[in-house]
Amino acid sequence: MASADVPPTIAWAGDRIRLIDQRRLPAELVVVEATTVEELCEYIATLAVRGAPAIGVAGAMGVALAVVRGEDPAAAGERLRATRPTAVNLGWGVDRALGAADPVAEAQRLAVDDVERNRAIGRHGAPLFASGANVLTHCNTGALATVGWGTALGVLRAAHEAGTRLHVWIDETRPVLQGARLTAWECERLGIPATLVADVMAAALMRAGRVDAAIVGADRITANGDVANKIGTYAVAVACHHHGIPFYVAAPRSTFDHTLPTGDAIEIERRSPDEVTTIAGVRIAPEGIAAENWAFDVTPAELVTAWITEDGVFRTPPGPDVAPAP
């Protein structure tokens, strides 16, 4: 596998954290190091490392970094938690490390665990797709969004490796272009046939009968099954609903937040208007125009066909006591 050449998205290295700088993909594959919690927070805030499962492990490793540096782990946890509000995994990772007798060991355990859970998500989800299927995906949910393997793209990877002939429609995913930059790069490396499209083409493809299913990841899933995910996910779900196309969400159980009843309670991160008014450093909009930039949206549970987790495929949202994650 070409993908075997790629280092883990994020890894513990004794007294520092190594991570792929995803801001520089697909132009170059560069591994950078965070030796302080501040550096790590900056990497998370600027999306050098992103993806709910990946930043969950980053949160745990950040607490571990504070421990080995002799700093206050609780204060480090608060700083990490504040970098991005929407993905529940970040706070979850911080809490797991803070609550462990050995935060350093716990962070490393979560990293190993992440890959295993993703592979299980892939095993459960792969049979949902028939050979010949055209599957639309939004944002990046592959190895780069996790420690390794991936969630939604990991399901398609598992199906592909099991011999199911799939073709993937990749939404470019404005404004940060995780689809064009990262998912396209991963599909090429994995040899999964894929075609990149502007996000606005997805609905037209569905009307043309060119989409058999859609699959996305999640940043937070509330008790009723509502799904916060990358901005644009909701538009895909609405279009799938209109065309009677299955809409799947793939995420580990750590993405489920049973403390929130519905998606209305999820804090949606607002990011800089510059992500909309400039692309790759080039100004595209006139100076002075206002821009609004919600990083996530919420898809109500009634638009979700199934939630694919490491514990199986659920046609109704799994409660906290349903086959709980260990």
Q: Catalytic amino acids? A: 219
Of positions 200, 261, 267, 272, contacts a second copy by CB under 8 A: 200
10 Å CB burial of residue 197 (0-12, 13-18, 19+) is: middle
279 near a second copy (CB under 8 A): yes
Strands 296-299 and 166-171: unpaired
Q: How far is the CB of 166 from a second copy (least distance, A)?
A: 14
Of positions 163, 244, 290, 315, contacts a second copy by CB under 8 A: 290
For residue 63, the surrounding DSSP H or E stretch is helix 52-68
SS3 309: strand
194 near a second copy (CB under 8 A): yes
SS3 288: coil
Q: Which is nearer to a second copy, 226 or 310 (CB)?
A: 226
26 near a second copy (CB under 8 A): yes
Provide the token pair at 280: 């790759």
Q: Please work out the total of residues on this chain that contact a second copy, with binding judged by CB under 8 A.
A: 55
Letters for 231-260 (x = contact with a second copy by CB under 8 A, - = none) are xx-xx--xx-xx------------------
Side-chain half-sphere of 83: how many Cα atoms within 13 Å?
28
Q: How far is the CB of 310 from a second copy (least distance, A)?
A: 28
DSSP secondary structure code for residue 247 in this structure? E
173 near a second copy (CB under 8 A): yes
Q: How far apart are CA 71 and CA 188, in angstroms?
A: 42
204 near a second copy (CB under 8 A): yes
172 near a second copy (CB under 8 A): yes
Provide the token pair at 74: 């609780």
Letters for 55-84 (x = contact with a second copy by CB under 8 A, - = none) are ------------------------------
322 near a second copy (CB under 8 A): no
Q: How far apart are CA 289 and CA 297, in angstroms?
A: 23
Q: If we measure between CA atoms, which residue out of 213, 220, 139 comes closest to residue 172? A: 139
Q: If we measure between CA atoms, which residue out of 180, 177, 129, 183 comes closest to residue 156? A: 129
Phi, psi (5° rounding) for residue 42? -65, -40
Query: CB under 8 A: which stretch of 113-121, 129-137, 198-206, 217-225 binds a second copy?
Result: 198-206
Q: If we measure between CA atoms, which residue out of 312, 307, 321 comes closest to residue 226? A: 307
280 near a second copy (CB under 8 A): yes
294 near a second copy (CB under 8 A): yes
Of positions 285, 316, 319, 323, contacts a second copy by CB under 8 A: 285
Residues that bind a second copy (CB under 8 A): 26-27, 170-175, 177, 180-181, 184-185, 187-188, 194-204, 207, 231-232, 234-235, 238-239, 241-242, 273, 276-277, 279-286, 288-294, 297-298
